[in-house]
Structure 1
Amino acid sequence: MGGPMDQDRTSKDNAALRLSAGGVVAQPGSSMMHAPISMAGRSVRSAATTIDSLFRANAARRPDADAVIDSPDRERVIGQPPRHLTYAQADRAVEAIATRLRQIGLPAGTVVGLQMPNIVESVLTLLAITRAGMVPAPLPLLWRRADCVAALSRAGARAIITYGHVDDMDHAQLALGIAAELFPIRVVCGFGCGRVDGIVPFDDCLSADIESTHELDVSLSESSPAAAITFDMTADGPVAVLRDHAQLLAGGVLVQHRATIQPRAAIVSTIPATSFAGLATSFVPWLLCTGTLILHHPFDPDALARQIAEHDGNILVVPDALLLPLTQSETLDTTRSLKSIIALWRSPDRVAASSQWPADAPNLVDVAAFGEAGLLASVRAANGRAAPWPTGNIVVAENGHDITLGRVAQTVTGTLGLGGLLAASPLRLYDPEPTEAPDTGADLVDTGYSCRLTPNDETLVITASPVGLVNVGGYRFAMHDLQLHVRDIDDNGVIAAFPHALTGYRLAGHATNSEVVRAKLEESGSNPLISHAFHDRLPS
């Protein structure tokens, strides 16, 4: 385990950003996975610039400080009391989980699927997978067998870690079903699974009296340059997007600067770390500021207010759908410690027309997530209105120096193009049959979101989502695929997306026998947002 770092936080951030967004990424386990990553001909591989090294430094610097805290209503969600860990306790648990992963025979570079709610174990496990020299691949909580199998197949995953029951869903059996369908999955691990056959239990890794484990001997030659694989839905189905540590850190640094997150901040997050945006809005800023990460399972306004008040929360991270309920509740009036609210927009085309933010409320930072292609972040103007997005380089000032994190431009097809560390290059898609991405010019990644330039060409406004995709409560769906799937079950079945004030869109379905269609959708492993659409009636 690495010792304390002598550099201050600023030096640590800058060192991290010297990692490259370039290079070629091969399948896990191949020799290419261990090649140095480079930019402009420079090899900059460094052990001091990984997600886990930041956490280790924080644990060495503040061992007795609060690191990560569960929501008080955790027992309602998973049937277990909430956890509250210091950095020293969290570090021991991360070491124990990482050691267990290596002991069960998984080699460095293994892609490990991870599906858990927004709880302490999910944060610790993500760090532990990295510490073991493996690649975490977090899955959205509402994904079921069909989506998980497709995504993990593209990622080349060889293991899954889950949590037993979440609300009324048996995730242990779900993970076993995924493993049965995917031959490369060698092992299923879990917390809260009891003695379920076929699942390696991890609960004892968080035991207070667990024996100190030996420090893992994961050399640089074994470590993967990959920080995480996240999954996106496109018109052609799910894809796996890989990011290195520099790219992940760049997203967190941008959010940290826009939200003015101070050292040792208390960050209250309702967003799970299952996407680039989820990682960049809370998980990475927490590591960068050596603060406290306070988790909330959305959404209980009373529990959220208690968490903010009890832990003097400085930063609140929420989906955009919660902005209106927040302004209508007493949460903002009774939580004076809040300095900034970070709103995650999964439908960036809705930002421009969003409501005016109250002048007496904490600062609001809009984070627009363009699927897994990248993100942008901007502070609300003094008048409370969302401003257009500046074109050109995305720059943050650090210690008197400008750091360029990415670039924004309109492509020749009128869509938003992102470049630099904030964008996911198409070369990083784990696709068994890769095809070259359309040429958007100047190394930009085409997000597919339509945009228009303002008259001075210095800013742009996002006007529409990619054709054929809709966002429902933070989940993207390809409507053509949904319709075909429903028609396979019922020739007269129809499913459609309708605008919704809070969630962007909602799904509604109609069929000859909706009960039968719903049951077969659930049986096929579809997202419950799809099957539940057949509880509703189509608007007249």
Structure 2
Amino acid sequence: MTPMLDGCTPWPEEFVDHYWAAGHWQGSTLDNLLRGWALQYGPRTALVHGDTRLTYAQLNRRVDRMASGFRGRGLRPGMRVVVQLPNVPEFVVAAFALMRAGLVPVFCPVAYREAEVPELVRITQAVGYVGPAVHQGFDHMAMAAGIAARWPFLRRVFTYEEPGAESPFGGLTTDPSNCQYAPLGSLDAPPGPALPPSAGQVAFLLVAEGAALVPRTHDDFAYQATAAARALSLTEDDVYLAALPACSGLALGGPGVIGALSAGAAVVLADGPDPEACLPALARERVSVTALTTAAARSWLDALPAAGTSPCALRLVQIAGTPPDRAAAERLGTALGCRVQQVFGLPEGLLTLTRPTDPGGAALATHGRPLSPDDQVRLVDAEGGPVPDGAPGELLARGPHTVRGYYRAPDRDARSFTADGYLRTGHRAHRTPDGDLVVTGRLDAD
């Protein structure tokens, strides 16, 4: 087995062998999967953002040229690069380009500021940062300059300039800390030969509760995203609205952006889940599938009467919330004329969801069942023992897309994982008589 990134915990060999034998892991990196999707769906629309539209072929070409641009700036396989971008096509292009260059993107929520971003750079020893110049009034480049002065291993900063914004850089510049700055759009070079990464290597790092970093491999995340796409019966006729931050596990791979692309669907990138931005897009782009938090679903319900739109193509809305809000789900499904699917997902990988064949009560009031047939779930009491049927307990999980440890966090690993590799999710749940899970909230909120 190819060694993982230093500071990560691999799956035991017997589990690796089983996941391969079961067909869950198939040995393709996410960026190589994109090559195949580009061949299969080339002229079809892949990404939509405002007036911008990219086909699958155009997306793959941009990824190729940006990957070559990253390599041309001296970035080498295995290095980490913090990516802090809103839901724009450049996020998707940069993510795949970094992976194609063998680099490890660290997906950082765009809302993070000086309290969080410098620590992510320090823990990962990130040599690069990709972020907006200014976003919602916050100067990300000033923050990046401060981090580079503090942590000199950060030496490449690439800025995304939002349409209409004045570029802060006319070209490559260097500040006194020897950190080089350049527009993200300048990473455009003819593709050249490159050593492809292994599918068993870490594809990227996600941020979990408490700013812990979750190492997701190509194999495990490709399986999660494509299995979720199958569970939702996504096809190339679907249009997925990425309303939640694309750097989150659900919006990236539950099925999210990557799952939608795997099915040949179009992905519409929204600037946020606010109904003012999303409801017009539902009708304009004929969106068929999207995902919301419970709070966002309620805001949509409040805005629908005055929206004046008819989202007639919408067939499914995922709602992520604990506990599941049956009343809001019922109202939203009726108002939008679509099915509602309750989901519970974690950056660490566990994803439970209801299925299209589930009876109405289960679909609205439970989180369904784990995504994979090889997901193993336990409910335990405070001492780690099993709880009686129907009783609440802490949700523990392990499986082909649930990690075995955090990145460079041995103390947290000791608290968060059992000796036999189960993730202690920190969430309370119970099973219904039909075997469905209902996750009711975090243990520390009791």
The TM-score bracket by the shorter chain reads 0.7 to 0.9
Q: Of residues 253, 258, 272 in structure 2, which corresponds to 1:298? A: 272
Greater displacement, 412-421 / 373-382: 373-382
Displacement of 1:162 in angstroms is: 1.0
Verify: 1:461 aligned to 2:443, yes or no.
Answer: no
CA distance in 2, matches of 1:149, 1:202: 20
Verify: 1:269 aligned to 2:238, yes or no.
Answer: no
Q: Percent identity?
A: 19
CA distance in 1, matches of 2:419, 2:430: 17
User: Given that residues 65 and 86 in structure 1 are in contact (C-alpha distance below 8 angstroms), is that contact kept between their aligned partners in structure 2?
Assistant: yes
User: Given that residues 102 and 132 in structure 1 are in contact (C-alpha distance below 8 angstroms), is that contact kept between their aligned partners in structure 2?
Assistant: yes
Structure 1 counterpart of 2:299, which letter?
A: P
Verify: 1:323 aligned to 2:297, yes or no.
Answer: yes
Question: 1:375 matched to which residue of 2?
Answer: 351
CA distance in 1, matches of 2:437, 2:26: 38
Question: 1:529 matched to which residue of 2?
Answer: none
CA distance in 1, matches of 2:340, 2:438: 18
Verify: 1:448 aligned to 2:426, yes or no.
Answer: yes
Displacement of 1:39 in angstroms is: 1.0
User: Given that residues 113 and 137 in structure 1 are in contact (C-alpha distance below 8 angstroms), is that contact kept between their aligned partners in structure 2?
Assistant: yes
Verify: 1:60 aligned to 2:39, yes or no.
Answer: yes
Verify: 1:146 aligned to 2:115, yes or no.
Answer: yes
* Distance change in 2, residues 1:224/1:302 (3 Å): same
Question: 2:89 matched to which residue of 1?
Answer: 120
Q: What SS is found at the alignment partner of 1:417?
A: strand
CA distance in 1, matches of 2:368, 2:410: 36
CA distance in 2, matches of 1:23, 1:350: 40
Alignment map for 1:242-281 (pairs within 5 Å) = 242-281=215-254
Structure 2 counterpart of 1:108, which letter?
A: P
Greater displacement, 430-439 / 276-285: 430-439
User: Given that residues 29 and 197 in structure 2 are in contact (C-alpha distance below 8 angstroms), is that contact kept between their aligned partners in structure 1?
Assistant: no
TM-score computed with the length of structure 2 as normaliser: 0.81
User: Given that residues 132 and 216 in structure 1 are in contact (C-alpha distance below 8 angstroms), is that contact kept between their aligned partners in structure 2?
Assistant: no
Displacement of 1:117 in angstroms is: 0.7
Displacement of 1:448 in angstroms is: 0.6
User: Given that residues 77 and 103 in structure 2 are in contact (C-alpha distance below 8 angstroms), is that contact kept between their aligned partners in structure 1?
Assistant: yes
Q: Deviations for 1:233-274, whole angstroms, at most 9, x for unmatched residues?
A: 33xxx3111011232123323432343222342111112221
Q: What SS is found at the alignment partner of 1:422?
A: coil
Q: What SS is found at the alignment partner of 1:366?
A: strand
User: Given that residues 370 and 449 in structure 1 are in contact (C-alpha distance below 8 angstroms), is that contact kept between their aligned partners in structure 2?
Assistant: no
Question: 1:69 matched to which residue of 2?
Answer: 48
* Distance change in 2, residues 1:462/1:342 (3 Å): closer
Greater displacement, 415-424 / 300-309: 300-309
CA distance in 2, matches of 1:430, 1:180: 23
Verify: 1:363 aligned to 2:339, yes or no.
Answer: yes
Q: Of residues 176, 185, 205 in structure 2, which corresponds to 1:203? A: 185
Structure 1 counterpart of 2:398, which letter?
A: G
User: Given that residues 283 and 309 in structure 2 are in contact (C-alpha distance below 8 angstroms), is that contact kept between their aligned partners in structure 1?
Assistant: no
* Distance change in 2, residues 1:302/1:142 (3 Å): closer
CA distance in 2, matches of 1:53, 1:341: 29
Q: What SS is found at the alignment partner of 1:145?
A: coil
Q: Deviations for 1:138-183, whole angstroms, at most 9, x for unmatched residues?
A: 1011111221122232233221111211121111222222222223
* Distance change in 2, residues 1:257/1:43 (3 Å): closer
Q: What SS is found at the alignment partner of 2:54?
A: strand
CA distance in 2, matches of 1:109, 1:180: 23
Q: Of residues 230, 247, 259 in structure 1, which corresponds to 2:206? A: 230
Displacement of 1:94 in angstroms is: 1.0
Q: Deviations for 1:180-203, whole angstroms, at most 9, x for unmatched residues?
A: 222332321222253165412222
Question: 2:28 matched to which residue of 1?
Answer: 49
CA distance in 2, matches of 1:365, 1:332: 24
* Distance change in 2, residues 1:273/1:172 (3 Å): same
* Distance change in 2, residues 1:148/1:167 (3 Å): same
Q: Deviations for 1:264-298, whole angstroms, at most 9, x for unmatched residues?
A: 42111112221222311311212211121111112
CA distance in 2, matches of 1:286, 1:303: 21
Displacement of 1:457 in angstroms is: 8.1
Structure 2 counterpart of 1:169, which letter?
A: F
CA distance in 2, matches of 1:306, 1:41: 46
Q: Deviations for 1:105-140, whole angstroms, at most 9, x for unmatched residues?
A: 111111111001111111110111111111111101
* Distance change in 2, residues 1:363/1:257 (3 Å): farther
Q: What SS is found at the alignment partner of 1:118?
A: coil
Structure 1 counterpart of 2:342, which letter?
A: D
User: Given that residues 109 and 224 in structure 1 are in contact (C-alpha distance below 8 angstroms), is that contact kept between their aligned partners in structure 2?
Assistant: no
Question: 1:512 matched to which residue of 2?
Answer: none
Q: What SS is found at the alignment partner of 1:228?
A: strand
Verify: 1:309 aligned to 2:309, yes or no.
Answer: no
Q: What SS is found at the alignment partner of 2:330?
A: coil
Verify: 1:90 aligned to 2:78, yes or no.
Answer: no
Question: 2:79 matched to which residue of 1?
Answer: 110
User: Given that residues 359 and 382 in structure 1 are in contact (C-alpha distance below 8 angstroms), is that contact kept between their aligned partners in structure 2?
Assistant: no
CA distance in 2, matches of 1:100, 1:225: 22
CA distance in 1, matches of 2:193, 2:283: 38
Question: 2:314 matched to which residue of 1?
Answer: 338
Question: 1:14 matched to which residue of 2?
Answer: none
* Distance change in 2, residues 1:90/1:253 (3 Å): closer
Unaligned runs of 5+ in 1: 1-21, 73-81, 396-403, 470-540
* Distance change in 2, residues 1:87/1:257 (3 Å): closer
CA distance in 1, matches of 2:248, 2:26: 24
* Distance change in 2, residues 1:96/1:37 (3 Å): farther
Q: What SS is found at the alignment partner of 1:183?
A: coil
Q: What SS is found at the alignment partner of 1:55?
A: helix
* Distance change in 2, residues 1:453/1:253 (3 Å): same
Q: What SS is found at the alignment partner of 1:49?
A: coil
TM-score computed with the length of structure 1 as normaliser: 0.68
Displacement of 1:303 in angstroms is: 4.0
Q: What SS is found at the alignment partner of 1:179?
A: helix
Displacement of 1:370 in angstroms is: 3.7
Question: 1:386 matched to which residue of 2?
Answer: 364
* Distance change in 2, residues 1:49/1:416 (3 Å): same
CA distance in 2, matches of 1:344, 1:332: 26
CA distance in 2, matches of 1:98, 1:312: 32
User: Given that residues 411 and 440 in structure 1 are in contact (C-alpha distance below 8 angstroms), is that contact kept between their aligned partners in structure 2?
Assistant: no
* Distance change in 2, residues 1:62/1:457 (3 Å): closer
